[in-house]
Amino acid sequence: LPKSRYESISVYLANCGGCMKRYNDLDAPVDGRSLERLLEGGVDDDLARHVAHLFVRDPLVIMKSRLRLDDATETDHFENLQGTNWQTVRWKPPPRATACGPQVGWRVEFRSMEVQLTDFENAAFTTFVVLVSRVILAFDLNLYLPLTKVDENMRRAHLRDAVLQQRFWFRKHMAPPEEHVDDPDACEEMSVLEILTGKGDHFPGLIPLIFAYLEAIQCDPETLELMRSYMDLLRRRASGQLATAARWMRARVAAHPSYRGDSRVPDDVAYDLVKACADVAEGRLRASELLGEQPIPPLRTDDAYYVPLMRRTIAR
């Protein structure tokens, strides 16, 4: 197989009037029997190929008690394969309905980002992804790239200081151009800062579009100010004004008196780095080169657990 289970996606799943043939340009093997059965059952070709691509692999783990199930009412057999394909995006059918609580619907998991040190950073990146998804839907934008270019972007993203040193393929036109262009699907290389804040007259940038969306939905001032702090973190990371977590950690290792510059990390260097990470996350260490002036409140251990409502009578 051309890719491992732990990889970027090899197949888009979308309903966009034939665009899949333009953008699905990777070799994505499918399980022939699964594909045939899905097509015979009335599943459309794009969805059938997506699922049949998952089924080229065997399940890694299965519980003895869950071997024989009614597949008409249980999804464990499907999830055994779905859940052991760790790709950058995952399409998730609804889980089995429960007797109480809201019914969970169809979901898309965006899985490519690494966890950050602080709640503030994690909230910023998570909010950005959600808002970009709303922008795409609200303004009817097209952000598809050929998957060969997505894979090239992923390769570049793994290089040291990629956020500053690399350029990434992105669409020149997220909406149909008002004037005639030779290729409305054209892509070009951009820096992360250009992707976020704009390039030239033809590409507005994702962050300005986010604020246009927030204005259109009449976002309240308090929430808008919080969104500004999140977007500012991303913009300053992309411009190099603030360090990424990776650059911050590399700098701490390089500056440690026990590190000899030979790529060997002694135990005391590793200990001090992990302790510094924990101190930043829990508000004991201020890291302005990582977070700017954003304060991180100390982590409180009191009232850390959920307290259920009590049925007993409280004495007067």
pLDDT digits (tens, 9 = 90+) for 60-83: 888 888 888 888 888 888 888 888
**30 token code pair:** 């499918």
Q: How much is the pLDDT for 314?
A: 64
Q: Higher confidence at residue 310 or residue 11? A: 11
| Residue 210, pLDDT score | 98
Average pLDDT of span 115-133: 96
Structure token digits, residue 48: 């059938």
Q: Which residue has the tokens 């097509």?
A: 39
State whether the Cα torsion 310-312-315-316 is positive or negative: positive
- What number of other Cβ atoms are within 10 A of residue 91's Cβ? 16
Give residue 18's pLDDT: 66
How many Cα atoms within 13 Å fall on the side-chain side of residue 273?
21
The pLDDT value recorded for residue 260 is 96
Distance from the Cα of residue 39 to its chain's centroid: 31
Q: Which amino acid is at 180?
A: H
Q: In this predicted model, what pLDDT tens digit does every residue of 146-162 receive, in sequence order?
A: 999 999 999 999 999 99
Least confident of 19-23, 51-55, 186-190: 19-23
> Given pLDDT bands bounded at 50, 70 and 90, which one contains residue 104?
confident
Q: What confidence tier does 312 reach under pLDDT thresholds 50, 70, 90?
A: low
Of 187, 158, 164, residue with least CA distance to 174: 187
Strands (E), 156-295: 168-171, 187-190
At residue 262, does pLDDT exceed 70?
yes
**Which pLDDT belongs to residue 100?**
77
Residue 97 has pLDDT above 90, yes or no: no
- What's the pTM? 0.89
Beta strands in the chain (DSSP E): 89-92, 107-110, 168-171, 187-190
For the segment 139-144, the average pLDDT, to the nearest whole number, is 93
State residue 268's pLDDT score.
98
For 192-217, write each residue's pLDDT tens digit. 999 999 998 889 999 999 999 999 99
Exposed/middle/buried for residue 150 (C-beta within 10 Å: 0-12, 13-18, 19+): buried
pLDDT at site 151: 96
What is the mean pLDDT of the segment spanning 14-21? 74
Q: Write the Ramachandran bin of 18: left for phi over 0, alpha for psi from -120 to 50, otherwise beta.
A: left
Q: What is the mean pLDDT of the chain?
A: 91
Mean pLDDT of 163-183: 90
For 5, the token pair is 């289970």
